[in-house]
Chains A and B, each alone.
Chain A
Amino acid sequence: MLQDHAKLVSFFSECHELIGRKRLQKMIYILKKCHFPFSERYQFHFYGPYSEELTLRVQELINLGFLEEEKEKKSGYYQYRYSITDEGQKFLTHYNIEMPNMDQWIEKMKGMSSRFLELIATMLYFDNRPKEEIEEKVLSVKKKQNYTREELERAWAFIEEMNVKH
């Protein structure tokens, strides 16, 4: 029952707290691309890989009381803060799901901007192409983001690190 939900609860449990819907989308996508067993299906939307299944599943977790979502007003926009509830922790204990350790990757990604996570996720989305083509494609579908050479290099370094260590 709800095995896929349990995997997400396990992710939120390791996160302690996560700010931003885009960040959430991209982190799960990056972990999935590195073979962490998340099952949410992603498609390319206007702003990068996005999973409607993830959006809906997170809402289900909120409705069930396993996850708390706080909407916060920032200067001119809203952001969403997620944290696991006691009931979520209880659900996890009952479920006893086995997930590979993702602590270090979560910590690293929490320290990155959502813009940079979007870049990494988009590069991974095109990872069936040669390196030059990936860069070309990313820069073409993300024209408005104006990613720099330095950001691309940092993204490659992170992808390399994840591929090697995981």
Chain B
Amino acid sequence: MEYRNEQLAEEKVFKDPVHRYVHVRDKVIWDLIGTPEFQRLRRIKQLGTSFYTFHGAEHSRFNHSLGVYEIVRRILENFKEHPDWNEEERLLCLTAGLLHDLGHGPFSHSFEKVFDLDHEDFTREIILGDTNVNNILKRVHPDFPQDVADVIGKTYSNKLVVSLISSQIDADRMDYLQRDAYFTGVSYGHFDMERILRVMRPMEDQVVIKATGMHAVEDYIMSRYQMYWQVYFHPVTRSSEVILTKILHRARYLYKNNYSFKLPPLHFETFFEGKPTLEDYLKLDESIVLYYFQIWKEEDDEILSDLCNRFVNRHLFKYIEFNPNHQLEQWMELHKLFTEAGINPDYYLEVDSSSDLPYDFYRPGEDEERLPIHLLMQNDELKELSRQSEIVEAISGKKRTDHKLYYPSDFIEGLADKSRVKKRILEILEG
């Protein structure tokens, strides 16, 4: 039998707290899960540093990737008999769902920012490069790795396939919203996925939703909105990310200035040099990063050591609301005052911004890029979701922004009580 169609003698199941079971029957999928590149995802947390805010949020990209695969599998079960669905694309969809996050590195958000990396480039490299994953994909067909990379990169010619993995209502979002809600323990993020799956319909170049399922989709959009502001942009999580970012900046700065580390940062060297190879990238997971942070706690460099202590022991920066326009001059003054007080503002003063766009759409002729969610009406007409739903219309295109200023309150408190600098810093920070 062709490898593409090979089935396991017995179906394998993974117990899953969100979907109850993840079912695997295809040999290709089973083999991919067993590769070192996929197993590595067990050591990359899905929510990065959010566990400092929500102690349950220790779940991994491995869990999420299996979840996305399972949702795609269930969608395709429903599409099976539909005339607009080509069953030949089934394995491609399942594989792309499973591998869509393969290139995520440790604490992706901060790492990518500091080292100017993009996990999507690494996903592509793992799929197309000399890896175990690539060897398996090539056995399906020599073009199969490229097809999988194209679906994940959204450049595959069949847009229906792409939209299952990434669109405004896709398997990726449906899994992470529910999974993140479950593990953080928050009450947002829940919606009736079973209902959404039942009302999804394949069309020529997109997935549409039967109009009768509109309320389930409204619930999904609202869940997404709430999760972003209550979980993903939580200021405590942002504070830990600020510190993580500062650690990486400091370690790179020291490395570039020939600082003699007690333990040579071998796993970071090519990152510091700006040219991490795929091999180096795959070796660096969160357990390795945390190991270095433990070691760097004992470094002679006071800034690196302090920042690592803060991160490892959750001694985070305090934050206040900050408007970079109205408080621009205060920011400049704070910068000077911190320097005067011997606190390096490059590492101990930061403004961080969060923004989100919960749902967006374009109208014909508008130069927007996001594909809207379409409802399939009884007369087979397509209507854009926000035209039918008042709830969605109310938040469509609304971008919400939040700026916060982060600083180490203990350092400020530690300044001499009567000092002019301390008094003025507190005046600014406490309004």
A interface list, Cβ under 8 A from B: 1-2, 5, 20-23, 25, 39, 41, 43-48, 50, 52, 55-57, 59-60, 63-66, 76-79, 87, 90-91, 94, 114, 125-126, 137, 140-141
| A52 x B159 contact (CB < 8 A) | no
Contact partner of A94 among B328, B349, B350, B351, CB < 8 A? Answer: B328
Chain B, residues 335-370, CB within 8 Å of chain A (1/0): the string is: 000000000000001110101110000011111111
- Residues of A within 8 Å of B120, CB to CB, are 43
B153 touches A47 (CB 8 A): no
Q: Inside 8 A of A41's CB, which chain B residues have their CB?
A: 112, 118
- Assess whether A77 is in contact with B355, with CB atoms less than 8 Å apart: no
Extra 18 A-B pairs, beta carbons < 8 Å, given A1-B350, A22-B369, A94-B328 = A1-B324, A1-B349, A41-B112, A44-B154, A45-B369, A45-B370, A45-B371, A46-B154, A50-B369, A52-B357, A55-B357, A56-B357, A56-B401, A59-B355, A64-B325, A76-B364, A76-B365, A141-B157
B332 contacts the other chain (Cβ, under 8 Å)?
Answer: yes
**Which residues of B (158-204) have their CB < 8 Å from a CB of A?**
159
Selected A-B contacts with CB under 8 Å, 6 pairs: A1-B351, A5-B353, A39-B116, A43-B154, A47-B369, A78-B365
Q: Using C-beta atoms within 8 Å of the partner chain, give the interface range for chain B.
A: 35 or more
- Name the contact of B332 in the complex, choosing from A20, A60, A94 (C-beta under 8 A): A94
Taking CB atoms, residues of chain A closer than 8 Å to B270 are none
Bound CA–CA A94/B327 (angstroms) = 12
Q: Is the CB of A44 within 8 A of B153?
A: yes
Chain B residues within CB distance 8 Å of chain A? 112-113, 116, 118, 120, 153-155, 157, 159, 323-325, 328, 331-332, 349-351, 353, 355-357, 363-371, 399, 401, 403
Tell me which of A22, A23, A77, A90 contacts B364 (CB under 8 A): A77
Once the chains bind, are B325 and A21 in contact (CB under 8 Å)?
Answer: no
Give the CA-CA distance A94 to B112 in the complex, in Å. 27
Given the known inter-chain contacts A47-B369, A137-B155, please indicate yes or no for A91 contacting B401, CB distance below 8 A.
no
CA distance A130 to B412 in the complex (A): 57
Let me know if A60 and B367 touch, CB within 8 A. no
Whether B351 pairs with A56 at a CB distance below 8 angstroms is no
Cα A20 to Cα B403 in complex, Å, equals 27
- Name B356's contact: one of A5, A56, A78, A141 (CB within 8 Å): A56
Inside 8 A of B369's CB, which chain A residues have their CB? 22, 25, 45-48, 50
- The count of A-to-B residue pairs whose CB atoms sit within 8 angstroms is 89
If A21-B368, A55-B357 touch, whether A141 touches B401 (CB-CB below 8 Å) is: no
Closest-by-CB residue of A relative to B329 is: A94
Give the dominant DSSP class at B's interface.
loop
Please judge, given known A-B contacts A2-B353, A137-B155, whether A56 and B367 are in contact too, CB under 8 Å.
no
On whether A140 and B355 interact (CB within 8 A), knowing A1-B324, A91-B325, A114-B367, the answer reads no
A17 to B156, CA, bound (A): 35
- In angstroms, Cα B355 to Cα A57, docked, is 8
**Contact, CB under 8 Å: A46 / B159:** yes
Nearest to A57 among chain B residues (CB) is B355
A91 touches B328 (CB 8 A): yes
Which residue of chain A is the closest to B112 with respect to CB atoms? A41
List the B side residues contacting A114 at CB < 8 Å. Answer: 367
Distance of A52 Cα from B155 Cα, bound (Å): 17
Nearest 7 CB-CB pairings of A with B: A77-B365, A22-B367, A56-B355, A59-B399, A50-B369, A1-B351, A64-B325
- Report how far A67 CA is from B349 CA in the complex, Å: 25
User: Which chain A residue lies CB-closest to B113?
Assistant: A39
B154 touches A45 (CB 8 A): yes
Set of chain B residues within 8 Å of A140, measured between Cβ atoms: 157
Say which residue of A47, A60, A65, A79 sits within 8 Å of B401 (CB atoms): A60
CB distance from B373 to the nearest CB of A (A): 13
By a CB distance below 8 angstroms, the chain A residues around B370 are 45-46, 50
Question: A residues within 8 A CB of B325?
Answer: 64-66, 87, 91
Complex-state Cα separation, A3 to B399, whole angstroms: 21
Known contacts A56-B357, A77-B364, A114-B367; A2/B154 CB under 8 A: no
